[in-house]
Structure 1
Amino acid sequence: MTLEFGFSVTHRRYVPYAHAHYGGDLVDGAYGLALFGDVATDLAIHTDGDESLLAGYSQVEFLAPIQAGDVVEVTATLTRVGSRSRDLAFEARVLCRAAPDRGPSAADVLDPPILATKAVATIVVPAKTEGDATPA
């Protein structure tokens, strides 16, 4: 396990059309936040050997839409370590996007990727118990 500032975990996911919630095949903003929750859990397992609990977001910015047919990459980066709390910075980037004007299965790799969502959150891990080998 590592509890180093700057440690990060990244996930990638295809956004299925079944998740489209609005016109233009848009997904709701909560979709990206759910992905942040997943990558935060992964990071906490690596740093503390526990899934952690999300205490709250201190900042969320929706910068560009996430759409069905996108391939999204989400990253959580450790920015602060307290005795039980950890602050994380998140980014969601759209790497690929469907191109239905060229055909029903056409898609493009976006270069550069689109920064869709940024956030800052705090997670909490259980208190260290006597004899516990996990980081404080």
Structure 2
Amino acid sequence: MSGALVEGFQVTHRRYVPHSHAHYGGSLVDGAYGLGMFGDVATELLIHTDADEGLFAGYSSVEFAAPIQTGDVVEATATLVRIGKRSREIEFEARVVCRSAPERGPSAAGVLPEPIVVTRARGTVVAPKAAE
């Protein structure tokens, strides 16, 4: 282990949502986009805590609080909240931190004064049995 196996340990990723990811009218992106980001931050968290990518066992809760749009910059954070023998329970939150502003021009965008929480979840990942 790399020494990060403590409750409260966090990993955060940021990603620009390209216009090619529009799935619905109004430049909306499907809700699974945030869940994909959660898989990525969970993988990095397990690399830090267990020196392995681990396996995602499942979500115990998922809440879609607001839409993700193309042109957004989304930040996803994974926080380790419970440590089992091999299981790790993680709380996830995705927030929009920047958003496009097409009313000002085709490439206009801005940093939001306050992030918009778009997705929250809680899930369990499993680390492999340590080599003896």
Q: Within 1, Cα distance between the matches of 2:128 and 2:52?
A: 8
Q: How does 1:7-18 map to 2 (within 5 A)?
A: 7-18=9-20
Amino acid in structure 1 at the alignment position of 2:32: A
More strand by share: 2
How many residues are matched? Answer: 130
SS of match in other structure, 1:4: coil
Instruction: Give the aligned residue type for 1:59.
Output: S
Shift of 1:117: 0.4
Identity of aligned residues (%): 68
> TM-score, length-normalised on structure 1?
0.94
Give the alignment's Cα RMSD to 1 decimal: 0.5
Q: Distance in 2 between matches of 1:43 and 1:129?
A: 19
Q: How does 1:58-69 map to 2 (within 5 A)?
A: 58-69=60-71
Structure-2 separation of matches of 1:93 and 1:27 = 14
Q: Does 1:36 align with 2:38?
A: yes
Q: Mind listing any 5+ residue stretches in structure 2 that lack a counterpart?
A: none
Inter-partner Cα distance in structure 2 for 1:22 and 1:46: 36
2:70 maps to 1:107: no
Q: Which amino acid aligns with 2:107?
A: S
2:27 counterpart of 1:25: yes
Q: Name the structure 2 match of 1:128.
A: 130
